[in-house]
């Protein structure tokens, strides 16, 4: 039994292009009608395309029928580019693999130079298509203008004490208990005077 893939084999930009064509066919239509509109034949390639679009939750299938999703309708009927972008990001994160990657690298830089190996080793992506999945994923990030957040300075310093930039001196002895924070040259001279007095 073939493995069920949890990621699309196309980019969200190409999936959206085909989904926009499908949108003009009405809420529900047959695969044959969609294939005809795309000027394609019903084939393995066509079925892969439909399955990929469905991974982004832009379309869904039921037997021989294709149905426009509410998410696709929201994208088409967005009042602004910002609203449309929000729905497209939602579509992107409908892909289980992409959502896992986003969550795992939410606060650290994604290692693009070894991402292909990570996909194979940690996410069970077949090595034969790992390069394609990597390229699609990175292309989608660029298309959606999504960037993995970098850790903020607050997060980086959360468990560290603030850097101390001042000095303090505590001199204790017979009839002397002197403590002072050195902030400038004048404070340093006072400390030197105390030390000279101890020497004499």
Q: Which domain range does residue 112 map to?
A: 12-143
pLDDT at residue number 4: 61
The pLDDT value given to residue 143: 93
Residue 157 forms part of a structural domain: no
In a domain, 160, yes or no: no
How many folded domains does the chain comprise?
2
Q: Is the per-residue pLDDT at 61 higher than 50? A: yes
Q: Do residues 42 and 136 both lie within one domain?
A: yes
Q: Is the pLDDT at 57 greater than 50, yes or no? A: yes
Same-domain pairing of 43 and 128: yes
The average pLDDT across 175-195 equals 70
One domain, residues 95 and 52: yes
Q: What is the pTM of this model?
A: 0.70
**24 within domain boundaries:** yes
- Helix ranges restricted to H, 11-163: 12-23, 31-37, 44-55, 70-76, 81-92, 96-104, 115-123, 130-143, 153-156
Residues 137 and 184 in one domain: no
Neighbouring CB atoms inside 10 A of 74's CB total: 16
Tell me the pLDDT tens digit for each residue of 15-46. 999 999 999 999 999 999 999 999 999 999 99
Same domain, 182 and 87: no
Query: What separation in angstroms does the CA of 85 have from each of 80, 97, 99, 154?
Result: 9, 20, 17, 29
pLDDT value of position 2: 45
Is the pLDDT at 176 greater than 70? The verdict is no
Q: What is the pLDDT of residue 198?
A: 72
Strands 167-173 and 59-62 turn out to be unpaired
């Amino acid at each position: 039994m073939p493995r069920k893939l949890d990621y699309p084999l196309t980019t969200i930009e190409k999936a959206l292009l085909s989904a926009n064509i499908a949108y003009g066919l009405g809420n529900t239509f047959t695969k044959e009608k969609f294939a005809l509109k795309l000027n394609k034949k019903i084939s393995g390639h066509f079925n892969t395309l439909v399955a990929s679009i469905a991974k982004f939750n832009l379309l869904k299938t039921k037997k021989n029928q294709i149905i426009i999703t509410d998410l696709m309708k929201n994208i088409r009927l967005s009042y602004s580019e910002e609203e449309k972008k929000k729905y497209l990001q939602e579509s992107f994160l409908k892909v289980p693999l992409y959502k896992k990657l986003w969550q795992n690298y939410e606060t650290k830089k994604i290692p693009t130079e070894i991402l292909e190996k990570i996909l194979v080793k940690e996410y069970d992506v077949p090595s034969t298509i790992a390069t394609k999945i990597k390229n699609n994923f990175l292309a989608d990030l660029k298309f959606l203008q999504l960037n993995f957040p970098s850790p903020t300075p607050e997060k980086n310093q959360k468990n560290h004490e603030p850097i101390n930039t001042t000095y303090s001196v505590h001199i204790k002895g017979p009839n002397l208990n002197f403590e002072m924070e050195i902030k400038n040259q004048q404070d340093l001279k006072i400390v030197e005077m105390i030390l000279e007095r101890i020497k004499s």
